[in-house]
Structures are given as structure tokens and as C-alpha cells.
Amino acid sequence: MTIEGFVIRNALRNKRRAALSVLSMAVSLALLVTLLTLRREFALPPEDVGASLRIAVRNKVSLGVPLPARQLPVIERIPGVAAVTPFTYFGGKFRDQDFTPFAQFAVDPTRFTNVFVEAKASPEELAAWIRDRTSCVVGRNTMEKYGLKLGDRMQLTGTFYPHDLDLKIAAVYEGSLDDRNVFFHHKLLDELQGTSMVGTWWVRAASAEAASEVIRAINQAFANSSAEVRAETERAFQMSFVSMWGNIQTLIQRIAYAVVFTLLLVTVSTMSMAVRERFRELAILKALGFRRRELFAFILAESFGLALLGALLGAGGAWAFFHSVDIGKLSNGIFLYFEVTPRILGIASLVAATLGIVASVPPALAVARTSVVAGLKTLD
């Protein structure tokens, strides 16, 4: 029998225990990969090609406090501003759903297309949307999900606003990171409200180099006014929403630590039990001239092999699962992307390898301290 065959035979001696050990490792590592990916999605929300140029401008007091429409010409005159549009969240319900997985925003149709340039629609459809104040443009994903088509009515029940909307679908957009949203005329919302207030302004800077100066100029333009603003990059604006969840990243990280610690206890216990049953055999190997480091190598190879097999099934299975499912549908629209990166897979493999090594140390020390005579007296 070869050394490799000897190690494999010992690892599979108790097939049920070996299978349960590998499965526990696989499930734990799959959970670890999920937690690390979840933490990454919260820390690094996806961005499209125009994100580096876009700036969000909101009320300095709170996102829920609107801004006056008279700020528009002031922002337009700031050097480095290429385009600006009002951008107000409506938050309506569609078809009496408890949770509507797409957002609705009131915008200026002409200005909107100059700020969010990656959202593409046909010129004919955009012209129809611009002409009709009661029309809207809808993301491709929402159109396909609900079986909608051009000319259909989209009725939205107001939640934040005491008004309902009955919109005609005039255009379909696609090409952005989030092809789900609905955009309609801000003038329609102004008419319903009887006033002209804006939730936020979205600005496109002329260049990435000019963005920081534009942010400074916008904040300074409305300093000490009745409606002071806070201008920030799109990434900073996105992260402000993450902060509303509390310190969720720390919570996820602590759960990951707990998973790794629990897995360590399980692997050490399993390996110790497996080696304890073979004390007599190991004592015979000692008597035949095998040295301690060779016995340790046998135990290490067995533990390391089971750990890596668990990593292959767990981390590899998590990668295959999240690359094959529609994460938007699975998460009910909370996540658009859930990318298991090579770095995350590397961390999971490193954890598995470390656990495999650490789990082999206690039983190896027990074997080293046990004499040949004491080992031969051990019952199987």
C-alpha cells in the first residue's frame, strides 16, 4: 500500500463521520462566503460608468426635507456643471403589492437624459415621453417582470404623497445598473402638490477632475440660506443609505467570526476522535520505526484533505449558486448583484486550509506523547 492510499483509507475508514465532517465544513464555508459577499455589497455598491461624474444634492437637515425649485438656476450657473435635474422619490405602490420592488422618481425628462446618460431608450420613445406630461419611462426589467408594453397604464398608489398616479408608458430604458425604475414628469407632481419642491438635485459634472470643486461650490452657494444643502458624490450618497442600517458591516463580520470559531471546534473534535480510535495502529507504526514527524504528516494530510474537500464543495458551491440564480428575484429586489469575487473564494480556501492544519495539531501532540506500550494497550 502506498502512503497516499494509507492516508485516504484512514480518512474514509468511518465513511459516515467523514461525510458529516466534509458537509459541516462545506455548509459553514458556504455561509462564510455568503456573509463576506453580503458585507462587500454593503461596503461597495455597484457603480456604472457615469457614477464618477454624478453628484447628489440634498437638504443638509435631512433627506426627507425638500428643497425649493428656485435653486435650479443657481446650480446651473456653477462652473463645471454639465447638467442638472430634479429628482424626487415618489414611493408609490403598484398593483396593491405590500412591497413594490421598483422605485419611482419625478424628474425633468429633458434634463434627466443629460445626467443619466447610460440609460438608453429610442429617440422616438423619448420624444413621446417628453411630449406627454402624464406619461412615464419604465425600466426593461420591470416591463418584462409584469408583462407590460408601450401604451399600457401604470397606476401607482401614493404612500409618501397623498396623490395617486395614472401614467401611460411611453418609453422603455435599459443599459443602466438598475433597469427597474419608473421616471415621470416632475411638473405633474408639482401640479398635484400645488407647489414646486424638489427631493434632491442630481448633477453631472463636466469631468471627474471638476467634481470636487463643483461639490464645494454647490455647498457654498446655499450656505447660511433657509435651505442649506449637502452635495456629495454618488458613492457617498449610496453609502449614506447603508449607514441607516446601523453598523451592519460589523454585525456581519462578527457572525463570520462566530462561524469560523464554531467550525474550528467541530474540526478539532472530529479529528481528535478519528485519531483516538487509531492509537494502537499508530503505536505499531512507531514500533516499526516511523518517526513523530512522519505520523504528524499522516494526520495533517488527512485533516488537510478533508478540509479542502469541504472548501471545494462549500465555497465552490456558493460561487456556482450565486452565479446561476437571479439574485434580484431571490432577494426581492434588495440586491441587483451578488458577486462572489476571487478574493472571497481565496479567503474561504485559506480559512479551510488553516482549520485543516490547526485541527491536526491536538491529535498529533497526543500521539507524540503516547508511548508505544500505552498505545498498544488502547482499545479500538
Is the pLDDT at 242 greater than 70, yes or no?
no
Question: In this structure, what C-alpha cell is assigned to residue 33?
Answer: 462566503
Contact 168, 129 (CB under 8 A): no
Q: Distance (Å, rounded) from C-alpha 199 to C-alpha 181? A: 16
Residues 102 and 217 in one domain: yes
Angle in degrees, CA 204, 207, 208, rounded to 5: 95
234 within a domain of the structure (yes/no): no
For residue 78, the Cα-to-chain-centroid distance in whole angstroms is 36
> Which residue among 227, 254, 283 closes a domain?
227
67 CB-near residues (< 8 Å, 6+ apart): 57, 58, 59, 197, 198, 199, 200, 201, 227, 229
β 104-107/182-185 pair status: parallel
Residue 171: pLDDT band (50, 70, 90) is very high
161 within a domain of the structure (yes/no): yes
The answer to whether the pTM exceeds 0.75 is no
Q: What is the mean pLDDT of residues 153-167?
A: 90
Residues 213 and 274 in one domain: no
76 CB-near residues (< 8 Å, 6+ apart): 84
52 within a domain of the structure (yes/no): no
Residues 81 and 223 in one domain: yes
Query: Domain of 339?
Result: 3-46+246-376
Question: In this structure, what C-alpha cell is assigned to residue 20?
Answer: 458529516
Question: In this structure, what C-alpha cell is assigned to residue 223?
Answer: 450656505
> Which residue among 159, 194, 227 closes a domain?
227
In this structure, of 34-48, 240-254, 343-357, the range with the lowest mean pLDDT score is 240-254
Residues 215 and 359 in one domain: no
In this structure, of 102-111, 215-224, 348-357, the range with the lowest mean pLDDT score is 348-357
238 within a domain of the structure (yes/no): no
pLDDT above 90: percentage of residues in the chain = 36
Residues 153 and 275 in one domain: no
Residues 219 and 265 in one domain: no
Residue 101: pLDDT band (50, 70, 90) is confident
Helices 15-43 and 342-369: crossing angle, nearest 10°?
140
Name the 3-class secondary structure at 225.
coil
- Radius of gyration of the chain measured on its C-alpha atoms: 30
Domain count, the chain: 2
56 within a domain of the structure (yes/no): no
Residue 87: pLDDT band (50, 70, 90) is very high
Residues 101 and 195 in one domain: yes
54 within a domain of the structure (yes/no): no
Is the pLDDT at 79 greater than 70, yes or no?
yes
> Which residue among 197, 227, 257 closes a domain?
227
Tell me the per-residue pLDDT of 309-346, one tens digit each, with 9 for 90 and over: 888 999 999 999 988 887 766 766 666 677 888 999 99
Q: Distance (Å, rounded) from C-alpha 275 to C-alpha 298? A: 10
284 within a domain of the structure (yes/no): yes
Residues 222 and 102 in one domain: yes
Pick from 225, 93, 207: which is nearest to 159 by CA?
Answer: 93
Tell me the per-residue pLDDT of 34-58, one tens digit each, with 9 for 90 and over: 988 888 777 666 555 567 789 999 9
72 within a domain of the structure (yes/no): yes
Phi, psi values for residue 303, rounded to 5° = -65, -45
Residues 21 and 105 in one domain: no
Residues 7 and 82 in one domain: no
Residues 152 and 284 in one domain: no
The residue count of the chain comes to 380
Cα→Cα distances 334→147, 160, 318, 337, 338, Å:
21, 20, 19, 9, 10
Residues 86 and 189 in one domain: yes
DSSP state of 378: S
Q: Comparing 132 with 18, which gets the higher pLDDT?
A: 132
